[in-house]
Amino acid sequence: METLTWARNQRESPLLRLPAELRLQIYDYVIGSRIVHISFRWIPRFDPTGFKYDYLQDLEPLLEQSERAVHKQAIQIGSDISSLARTCQLVRKETACLPFQAYTWAFGNAFVLDSWLRTEGKIPLQQKRAVKTIALPAPGPYRSSERVLLSLREVFLTGHFSALGTFASEPKHWASRQALMLTLKKPKTAATWEWNGAHATYLKDLF
């Protein structure tokens, strides 16, 4: 029955009659480019009860390194993404991983990222492994997180850095009180991160 329904939808739907390459371009337009900030959802006893998702217009709120600042500048989004998944089985399958590939996934700290990757819930591991871009405070993700993020190619690090780009963990070593953001990339053809002439398998080893 599902096969017959899918075949009928493909015949009758103008979208499904398009070549797959054109459909993917349409999906990209609908999904767009967003920043999703993930933090723990707390109860009064300061125990995490899950994850809170905020959507940001840009990365600037992350420089304040304050969850309150992030929540204050969060924006509302429409139901365009979920509507794609409800269209039909084929569209749901084709778009399942696209937001994870296209969005920047920001985390309050490395522990939130590691917990999000390890927690079994509504987001399958396959979709988490599709994430290409993340943002979080320096010195970056745990090695265990990078072992899961198989598609990771770009990381935005917020923190205080010296003129040489090294991370200063103590206030007395900060060259400035103003937080900065570094962009680090790992080319598709390379297996290591590179920064200031140094190479490392795991990003955290660069700092």
Write out the chain's pLDDT in tens, 207 residues: 445 454 555 556 666 766 767 777 776 676 777 899 999 886 655 555 688 888 898 898 898 877 888 888 887 765 455 555 556 677 677 778 888 988 999 999 999 999 999 988 778 899 999 999 999 998 899 999 999 999 999 999 988 776 555 666 655 544 455 678 889 999 877 789 988 788 899 998 887
Give the Cα separation of 134 and 105 in Å (integer): 5
Residue 13 within a domain? no
- pLDDT of 44 reads 57
pTM for this one? Answer: 0.78
3-class SS at 119?
A: coil
CA distance readout (Å), 124 to 17, 32, 72, 116, 198: 29, 21, 29, 11, 34
Q: Which domain holds residue 123?
A: 33-78+96-206
Residue 68 within a domain? yes
Tokens standing for 2? 């599902």
Residue 100 within a domain? yes
The alpha carbon dihedral of 170, 176, 180, 184 has a sign of negative
Give the Cα separation of 200 and 207 in Å (integer): 10
The helix or strand, by DSSP H or E, that contains position 107, with its residue range, turns out to be strand 104-107
- pLDDT of 1 reads 45
Residue 52 within a domain? yes
Number of domains composing the chain: 1
